[in-house]
Each structure stands twice: as structure tokens, then as C-alpha cells.
Chains A and B, each alone.
Chain A
Amino acid sequence: MTTMAAPTTELAANGRDIRPGRIVTWTLLLIGGLVMITPLAFMFSTSLKSAGQVYDLRLIPAQPTLDNYIKVLSDGRFLRWFVNSTLVATAVTLSNVFFDSLVGYTLAKFQFRGRYFIFLAILSTLMIPTEMLVIPWYLMSSQLGWLDTYWGIMFPGMMTAFGTFLMKQFFETVPDDFLEAARVDGLNEFTIWWKIAMPMVTPAISALAIFTFLGNWTAFFWPLIVTTSRELYTLPVGLSSFAVEQSIQWEMIMTGAALATVPTLIVFLVLQRFIVRGVMLAGLKG
């Protein structure tokens, strides 16, 4: 019986017919997805409620108001933290795109003694957790005057083994002929890398850039340790201190959380296709 039925099932899987089983699956998936975004929905809804309405747990606010946003934004702290996070994440991302690609390219396309050793040495740093390095970094920062500075927040992440490995994998797919042709034309090696090789691996570069930015934008542990003055907090650290200070004023805390989440969420939603592709790329290669 089942043997006879099998070919039709196969056809049906490719067709557009609608069967009850599929509708149930689809509905369950949708419900699950809606549950997933419930925290985000409530965060946003509560940020639009006044202090008196917080106890009313309806998702759509009875009288939505932007007062919380005006209050939270009025003293400029969030703006400052937002600028700090943007600055730090952007600088670290640019550095990673430059150096991880340069090292990945060198390891993929140059022949020299010690190449394999350098590759293994860089790869081995993947085994070392950040938590183990923060105490020496803290000591180093206090000796060199990097505590409570932008550089202090950024320096540990300026290059990563993961990024180098990812870029090396992709540069290995670039045919040598292109590079040789450029050499015959008399271009120097740096120009060949920057002008010829880099444009050929743009999907990898965008994946690396998105990952690095996201990772640094949401980073909490090291910025919490290295920053002590409010002006230098990044957005996650600033939000955490703000929430502690607000104690039980949940509508204010939710407004802060929304300010820390929503702008980037919109940007990432626009880039979703690239991010999903990037996650798949990195997950399969890494």
C-alpha cells in the first residue's frame, strides 16, 4: 500500500496542493514564530505606555504616548551611548575587514617558509576564551593608560582568528591566473590584493563585516570591565546601568531596551537576506 502511494507523495511535495496536514504545520510554525517575537512586541508596547498603564498587560496600549522616549532621550545619555557603540563597532569592523582579509590572502596565496606555522598559531587562538584574557588585558590597559578610552574598548577585537580563517577559505577559491595577469601588468602586491582579489570575495567580506559589527554592537563583558565613566559606556553597558537606576519603572526600562534594540533591528531586518546567507556561509565553512 505505502509502496504504491509513495510516488504520489513525492509529486505532491513539489506541487502546490493544500492538504490539512500542511495547514496545521504552517499554523503551528506561525504560532511558534509569534511566540518568539512576543518579548519584542511587549517591550515595544510597554515603551509606549505611561507609568499608570504598565499594569494593563494588553499588547496594544490604550493611550499610546511617546513621553517615555522624550524623557529617556532628554538628557542625551542614550544618544552618547549610541554614538559610542556605533563608533566602536564600526572601527573594529573596518579593522577586521582590512587585516583579516590581508592575513587570509597572504596565507592562501603566498608561498613562504613558516606559512603553515603562522596559520596554526593564529588558528590556535580560537581555543583561548576571552574570559581568560580579560585580566591580562585589564592589567595591560591600566599600565598603558587605555582604561576608560575608546581604544581600550576596541583593541582586543581588532583582528580575529575566525575572520582570518573565513577569508583564507574564500581567497583559496580565487584563481591564480588573475593575480598572475596583474603581476605581468606590473601591479604591486598590495594593489593586486586590494584591487583584484578583494572584489572577488565580496560575499565573504559582507558576511565578515556583518558578524563583526553585530558581535561588537552587542558586546557586554569587556566594555563593562574597561569602561568606568558614563560618557564612555557602550549601549548595552549604558542600558544596564540605566535599568538598575530606574529600579521598578518598567516602562522606562522597556523604552531604554527598545532604544538599544529597535534601530539596529531595523537595519538588520533590511539586511536579513545577507545575514542569513552570511550565517549559512560561515556556519558551513567554519
Chain B
Amino acid sequence: MTSVATQSGPARGAGLWDRLTIRTKRVVWAWAFLAVPIVFYAGIRFYPTFQAFWLSLTDWDLLRPASFIGLGNYEALFSDPLFWRVFRNTFTYLIIGTPVSLVIAFVVAYYLDRVRFMHGFIRALYFLPFLTTAAAMAWVWRWFYQPVPIGVINGFLGTVGLPAQPFLRSVDQALPAIMATAIWAGLGFQIIIFMAGLRAIPTTYYEAARIDGLGEWAILRKITLPLLKPTTVFLVVFSSIGFLRIFDQVYNMTTNDPGGPLNSTKPLVLMIYQTAFSSYDMGYAAAQTVVLFTILLIVSLMQLWVLRNRA
């Protein structure tokens, strides 16, 4: 080991650096490269993570110094009817939003993949919404949902002879209306990922299936979908995390009564935002973020579990 190393730099003499072996020099370089990032990850990622856990056990409210109250925040949270309402809303976004967007994305990707004529143009139409700012497009959609003389959708319903809908003003329709905005914004990304997945399937599989006389539908069920599983799992998790963290659309579409009407659209992140930055109840908000973290962790672990089962 040393014999290889000493070939390096004794020629230039006495400096400490020059006496180091090549191997050691490279280790020094590596840690020098990592120095600033280590400080960053320790100070901006790890320390705040532990602090969030700690704050969730205190009654800190910006005014008085934080004092330890054990699991008091969690007890308060789990007995808060608003939390359970918000919990239900958050999972409604997830449980309806993810399958609906994935089915649409797959159908579009499946057919778009075979289209040659104006392929790039049609793909761009679907992809464009992904490049927009959620906060800006939330206002466009909010305008679409307005009542009769203003709203585009109600205007359209009127022309085809259907009754006007209350959309954002209704306890039942507001959440699906906001969810549609989020689905619309994420569709382009999912279509592109599905198309990448479809192209990664070797054509020999299809050729073999055709020679065996399998129909379109059988090929889809027996070859395409099973081979596409890693892509689908990735998109399910990616989109689930997105819906669990939904905020921009809800905040901007319900500014006069955030999360309303009657908290019917309020997701967990909006509750966190209000608890922390409207009520300044920081300890309580920290406990809510820990709950969000736990939910996201479970979703991610489920992904690992599903993928491991496959291998």
C-alpha cells in the first residue's frame, strides 16, 4: 500500500500536503468537497427535523418561551373534530385523485404512444399545464367555477341545457372541483412518465404475443400492464404524496374562507399553515407536521414493500 503511495510527491520536499500519500490526498479532497454540504444538511435538514419533533412536545407560541408539555399537543389533536375533518379531506384528495389521474394518464399515454401524425404537438397540449404555476392557474379555475353570468363552465352547462352548479360554494362539490384542478396540473407529467415506461418494454414481447395470436386486450392485460408495474408504482407514490401535500390550489381557490366552505376542502397542510402562521400556535402546528411526516413515511415504505415483493 505505502509503496504505491510514496511515488507521489516527496520530490517537492517538506510541505505537509506533499508528504501525504495519493490515497490520503484523495480522502482530504473528498472531505473538502463535502464540507459545505455537510454543514448545510446538518443545519438546514437534520437539526430542523429534530427541532420539529421537539417543538411538537411543547406549547411554544412565539410569545412565551417553549415549555415541555409531553404528548399534550397530540392528545389535543386527536380529540379535535377539525383534525378528523381535515384528515378525511386529505385522504379524499388522495383516494379519488390518484386513481382518476393515473387512469386518464395511462389511457392518453397508451394511445398517444402509437400516434405518429403531429405527435409532438398533441403531446405538448397535454404537457403544457405541468409547466404552469399552480397559484396562477388556481385563479383561472376559480373563475371557471363562478356562477352564471361569469363562470365559463356554468355558461357551457347553460348552452347545452343543463342546470347551473354551485361548485366552490357547495360543501359537496368544492372538494372535487379543487381536486380537478390538481389532477389537470399533474396529468402532463404522468403521461410523459407512462410513455417512457411503455417505450422501455422490448418490442419482442409484443411480437411474440402476436404470433401466439393474442388480441389487443389480452396483450394489454398480460404483457403491458405487468411490465409497466415499476412505473405505475412510482407514479402512484409520487401522485399520492402530491395529493397528501396539496396546498397551493386550495389556498388560492378559497381565499375568502380558507379551506371552506365549512372546512369541506381543508387539507392537512392548510391546517398546519393556519395553526402556525395565523394562530401562531407553533407547538400544536409542529405536532400536525409530525403526523403528516408519519403518513408520508408509511406511503413511501409501502412503495418499497411493493417493489421488494416483485423482485
Contacts and interface: CB of A to CB of B under 8 A. Distances in A.
A127 B108 contact: no
A121 B136 contact: no
Given A2-B213, A128-B45, A261 B136 contact: yes
Contacts of A112: 26-27, 30-31
B192 A280 contact: yes
B150 interface: yes
A25 B137 CA distance: 29
Contact of B41 (A26, A121, A244, A248): A121
Nearest to B116: A16
Given A2-B213, A132-B49, A283-B193, A57 B155 contact: yes
Given A110-B29, A221-B248, A276 B210 contact: no
Interface stretch (A68-76, A135-143, A170-178, A201-209): A135-143
Contacts of A140: 48
Interface string A29-53: 1101110110110110010000000
B126 interface: yes
A54 B135 contact: no
B134 interface: yes
B205 to A, nearest CB: 13
B54 to A, nearest CB: 9
Contacts of B290: 132
Interface of B is mostly: helix
A28 B286 CA distance: 48
Interface in B228-259: 231, 234, 245, 247-248, 251-252, 255
Nearest to A39: B140
Interface of A is mostly: helix
B44 A220 contact: no
A127 B296 contact: yes
Contact of B135 (A25, A39, A125, A240): A240
Given A39-B184, A102-B33, A280-B192, A131 B111 contact: no
B38 A118 contact: yes
Interface residues of A, number: 94
Given A42-B144, A129-B296, A264 B131 contact: yes
A283 B192 contact: yes
Interface string B292-303: 110011001000
B117 A239 contact: no
Interface stretch (B78-86, B91-99, B164-172, B269-277): B269-277
Contact of B193 (A131, A221, A279): A279
A76 to B, nearest CB: 19
Contacts of A224: 251
B117 to A, nearest CB: 6
A3 B213 contact: yes
Contacts of B37: 99, 102-103, 122, 159
B175 interface: no
Contacts of B41: 121-122, 125, 159
B52 interface: yes
A265 B192 CA distance: 17
A88 to B, nearest CB: 14
B68 interface: no
Contact of A34 (B125, B155, B195): B125
Contacts of A113: 27
Instruction: Point out which of A30, A131, A276 has the most chain B C-beta atoms below 10 A from its C-beta.
Output: A131
Contacts of B252: 240, 243
A132 B44 CA distance: 12
Contacts of A64: none
Interface string A80-113: 0000000000000000000100110110001111
A236 B133 contact: yes
Contacts of A139: 51, 282
Contact of A36 (B115, B125, B213, B273): B125
B106 interface: no
Contacts of B123: 276
Report the 8 A-B pairs with minimum CB-CB distance, sorted nearest first.
A33-B125, A136-B48, A236-B135, A3-B213, A280-B196, A110-B30, A132-B289, A189-B29
Given A29-B122, A220-B135, A280-B192, 4 more contacts: A33-B122, A36-B126, A135-B285, A189-B33
10 contacts: A2-B215, A6-B213, A9-B210, A40-B140, A112-B30, A122-B37, A131-B269, A193-B33, A253-B143, A257-B137
Interface of A: 2-3, 6-7, 9-10, 13, 16, 25-26, 28-30, 32-34, 36-37, 39-40, 42-43, 46, 54-55, 57, 99, 102-103, 105-106, 110-113, 115, 118, 121-122, 125, 127-129, 131-140, 155-156, 158-159, 189-190, 193, 214, 217-218, 220-221, 224-225, 235-237, 239-240, 243-244, 248, 250, 253-254, 256-257, 260-261, 264-265, 268-269, 272, 275-276, 279-280, 283-284, 286
